[in-house]
Chain A
């Protein structure tokens, strides 16, 4: 059964500067040659905050053990809501919480466990700049 006790769990926060070189590198990786990303005054591409997904996080509380087999974890869904543009020089703090956990019978990978998390990115002025929602799926066999 899906462990509902982790709903609401704090997965910690990470603070990072929005850097021009990283914007350029990320735009290159998504095959975007738009000159705006190469210039003096770029904005961050829409999915740019994914670059912080693997940064170390600090948490006021112990990080929960999500009990996942990461060899079977797929990215199911991702959603972004943009409230403020991201520019080099901004400092963002992203705080992530588990917002839902549930199970479904799937066609592609047997019984699937869904873990929904939400990350709220706040800028240096204290304004929420981006809200990201992610659904991870743990499959019981390799998805086809």
Chain B
């Protein structure tokens, strides 16, 4: 998604975040995430180990997808504005997958001196299967 300035006044309940796709996920994505996060579980980089226990190949760290989703969220609401971020993993991400990211505003409200939104989040693969569902709370800037 293109980074944008999202103002509280311009957001309505039911509004969607701009759709965004990550095409052709690769093993290199997983390896880069393994290095940065320190999560060297072989299921995410070693096909021999992953296939031995019954997976078709290596699959991505859930937190790789969640991290890319958090990037999608901060492009939408702004870095530093996320107050809560929650994800539930419902499927694996395999090399070659194309992931579609989406977000929908479920609530807009004031909390203390902050103008906040709640939003539902989802990541689906090329077969339309949701492999991650989640939600976020963000404090948005006001035009006022």
Contacts and interface: CB of A to CB of B under 8 A. Distances in A.
Interface of A: 22, 25-32, 34, 36-37, 43, 45-47, 50-55, 70-72, 74-82, 85, 141-143
A46 B92 contact: no
A34 B63 contact: no
A90 B54 CA distance: 43
A143 B91 CA distance: 8
Contacts of B89: 74-77
Contacts, number: 108
A46 B36 contact: no
Given A75-B89, A78-B62, A142-B53, A31 B38 contact: no
A11 B36 CA distance: 23
B142 interface: no
A28 B32 CA distance: 8
Contact of A79 (B3, B74, B79, B87): B87
B64 interface: yes
A82 B22 contact: no
Contact of B63 (A43, A47, A82): A47
A77 B64 CA distance: 13
